[in-house]
Structure 1
């Protein structure tokens, strides 16, 4: 069971990608600081009889300059799908020099690619590197391969840093017919540099997918592929682990989602290095993708000792036991046996009781709406912090401290506001999107609480 990456998030993905399903690939965003996980549970069975790509590819390409992204990062000629019944045209853009030659293939519409890739151009083609990794890969009983610490990792320490190899726009997953989608995804991986292509396909090998080699993708590429509906052949692709295409199988079992570009378009993203991390309902790490640089970082949420596996949560950690089990089983096909889930029944019952109380307190407090909190707002904020700490929700502690800081700010209590804001900053490990904005707000509250929007609002009512 080579379980790939998931994340600290309040939802999982329900994916219906065959044909023209309009089901949303991404959940609605109730947790703004983390992206959601790709899942194979609701994947419509892929047709196994698709035709091979034409071996007689044309050497000359029609002008398709409108599909090219702006910027100075080298990009190969885009490969696009054009058909009368498509709501949009979708193209493959491959940036061979991205991240010091690691490369990146993006499957997106021409109207979307410029804002997404221009964001990455700010980072250029360089890629920050870490020293020797603080972990090694090991086969773990009942868990498949995972990452195990080879030395003590301190809370907040950067564990892993990497960039995506493949990104696909959510809308393309919904809009493209199955045949077009599978062909474009295979071409996207084919166009990566050889080492990166092998790294991507190795994820299929690790899932016991026989014969998943880079040579399987040696088809030639069209700049514009005219797809003919209903065309099928028994020799198109080898099956993946779940009976579908290998490239898509890797995407669905190893991908995560993020919103990118000016329009915040949803993308499925594969970073193979992060796919080695296994699930735990009380994980010791979490990750964040910076949308500007397209760098993914994994940080420790607590001290991780040598010999301990590095884990993070595939689901919202604040769910009760039965809900966690149902969600994991339905979407990833296994039963969680982490320490929390396999503990005594009375311990799970106590945990569930605390989690129910967290749900009651969190929603009105996190709204920062003075009219929604009917009780003692300060006491409830402090109770929420205690519950987070008791439940060992290490990845969510910054949120609890932020809530306490803002509500003390509402009451004009300077010392307490500074105290909780400082703790929020110290525990903040998510720095992309709204997480970055919240972190900056906590920094201001810790220094100049009197100047912030929340100061003394409760005392003025």
Structure 2
């Protein structure tokens, strides 16, 4: 568990969102994506997958340059394709949850949302922000750092086409379907299925096909619901009632590993699911993320996999010899105990020492938990500072910042907390144990 973040004054939400979005644009640029102004909207393309590799589909009809195209002039066509997202719906509802959709969302990728009236206002803001930056996928798929191919025993998987190192971006996508977390609790199941069917039909055809191309582990379940159950990610639109499930079909090609070589987060300002390498990945190596809690013991992970997917996890970490699995569980138990000791910065116990902090970092390294190491770096930075080791504190604050950007994004409040510690460890309230109980 992360220590509570220090309270910091926030800039106005508009400026904050623009700051975050600019960082997302820079990340997309590293993925060989580009930002095109509205004038270049005719060049806009979106990414999609077939069953074997990455392909591209265009929003522009092939005969766009024809002098007469449905009696529309070029300006009308550009405006219809590149204008701000239009939202329709709100009249088909089950309980308090209604269907809304925008076929223009994310440059024509589209988004259907089963949500409440207060949440659709937030989605409008996100759509307008994406339109303002006009983030588009480069048409040259050769520049992508991966391709999708058959992986023995797994079906499709994401394979690195080049060597990647920690912090290298892998992919970034907006959701195509959002469903409010409370919607599944509605007693009208027939109404639920009807609204899910309408949501699918409201999407652009290519996007709907992309969604239905995902795996569904329960063939007896409603086809849209089954794909959500198998593939959806939790995301938060903000506010008191913003918890949703989001479908990101391309991400579903990325297979699970309890000790993955990539991590992801969903950026709240753009709703983009962003995947980043967490350790070196060689060309030809499969890129994996974790769909389970990597800090859970082996038995708990297996139980979760069985209940969610209908079969046990067979990743290399879970398929190890019994004694290796037992050692792993022991390390996880130890690191959780140590984190509990380091969590309380007012702890004056002799147990808190340089050796204990160093041992925690070793446990994370031995467990190959590079996908979830930000918390360890935060605790190391704070506790080294409490002990008076300002240079070590600054070092691990810097590592924590890098890890947080990979695991939670630049918008994480802990990034600002660690930047303050890195800038002036001796002036930080934790230096040499000056932290008071509850001040973390």
- TM-score with structure 2 setting the length: 0.74
Q: Which residue in the other structure is 1:93 paired with?
A: 100
- Describe the superposition over 1:227-258 as per-residue Cα deviations: whole angstroms up to 9, x where unpaired: xxxxxxxxxxxxx8431211111111110111
- Describe the superposition over 1:424-453 as per-residue Cα deviations: whole angstroms up to 9, x where unpaired: 223334464797211222222222223434
Judged with a 3 Å threshold, the aligned counterparts in structure 2 of structure 1 residues 335 and 309 are, in CA distance, closer, same or farther, namely same
Question: Aligned to 1:336, what secondary structure does the other structure show?
Answer: coil
Question: In the TM superposition, what is the alpha-carbon distance from 1:160 to its structure 2 partner?
Answer: 0.5
Structure 2 residue 164 is matched with structure 1 residue 153? yes
Q: What is the 5 A alignment of 1:147-296?
A: 147-175=158-186, 177-203=188-214, 206-207=215-216, 241-263=218-240, 265-296=242-273
CA contact (8 A) 1:281 1:317 kept: yes
1-structure distance, mates of 2:237, 2:428: 29
1:73 pairs, out of 85, 92, 96, with 85
CA contact (8 A) 2:115 2:180 kept: yes
1:303 pairs, out of 280, 296, 316, with 280
Question: In the TM superposition, what is the alpha-carbon distance from 1:374 to its structure 2 partner?
Answer: 6.4
2:403 pairs, out of 423, 427, 439, with 427
Which has a greater percent of helix?
Answer: 2
- TM-score with structure 1 setting the length: 0.70
Judged with a 3 Å threshold, the aligned counterparts in structure 2 of structure 1 residues 243 and 371 are, in CA distance, closer, same or farther, namely same
1-structure distance, mates of 2:296, 2:310: 18
5+ unaligned residues in a row in structure 2: which ranges?
3-82
Question: Aligned to 1:428, what secondary structure does the other structure show?
Answer: helix
- Describe the superposition over 1:266-312 as per-residue Cα deviations: whole angstroms up to 9, x where unpaired: 10000101011111111001111111111111001101111111111
Question: Aligned to 1:242, what secondary structure does the other structure show?
Answer: coil
CA contact (8 A) 2:149 2:156 kept: yes
Segment drifting more, 301-310 vs 416-425: 416-425
2-structure distance, mates of 1:379, 1:285: 29
Structure 2 residue 154 is matched with structure 1 residue 143? yes
Question: Aligned to 2:100, what secondary structure does the other structure show?
Answer: strand
CA contact (8 A) 2:264 2:407 kept: no
Question: Aligned to 2:130, what secondary structure does the other structure show?
Answer: coil
- Describe the superposition over 1:178-216 as per-residue Cα deviations: whole angstroms up to 9, x where unpaired: 01111111111111111111111122xx55xxxxxxxxx
Segment drifting more, 425-434 vs 109-118: 425-434
2-structure distance, mates of 1:96, 1:380: 54
Q: Indicate the RMSD between aligned Cα atoms, in angstroms.
A: 2.6
Structure 2 residue 376 is matched with structure 1 residue 438? no
Question: In the TM superposition, what is the alpha-carbon distance from 1:324 to its structure 2 partner?
Answer: 2.0
1-structure distance, mates of 2:240, 2:84: 22
2-structure distance, mates of 1:314, 1:249: 17
Q: Which residue in the other structure is 2:135 paired with?
A: 127
Question: Aligned to 1:310, what secondary structure does the other structure show?
Answer: strand
1-structure distance, mates of 2:351, 2:158: 45
2-structure distance, mates of 1:105, 1:459: 48
Q: Which residue in the other structure is 1:66 paired with?
A: none
Q: Which residue in the other structure is 1:25 paired with?
A: none
Q: Which residue in the other structure is 1:418 paired with?
A: 394
Question: In the TM superposition, what is the alpha-carbon distance from 1:320 to its structure 2 partner?
Answer: 2.2
Q: What is the 5 A alignment of 1:47-62?
A: none
Question: In the TM superposition, what is the alpha-carbon distance from 1:78 to its structure 2 partner?
Answer: 2.7
Structure 2 residue 353 is matched with structure 1 residue 341? no
CA contact (8 A) 1:411 1:458 kept: no
CA contact (8 A) 1:153 1:300 kept: yes
CA contact (8 A) 2:297 2:332 kept: yes
The number of residues matched between the two structures is: 352
Question: In the TM superposition, what is the alpha-carbon distance from 1:385 to its structure 2 partner?
Answer: 0.9
Question: In the TM superposition, what is the alpha-carbon distance from 1:95 to its structure 2 partner?
Answer: 1.5
Question: Aligned to 1:420, what secondary structure does the other structure show?
Answer: helix
Q: Which residue in the other structure is 1:114 paired with?
A: 121
Structure 2 residue 380 is matched with structure 1 residue 404? yes
1-structure distance, mates of 2:262, 2:247: 18
2:424 pairs, out of 433, 445, 448, with 448
Question: In the TM superposition, what is the alpha-carbon distance from 1:120 to its structure 2 partner?
Answer: 4.3
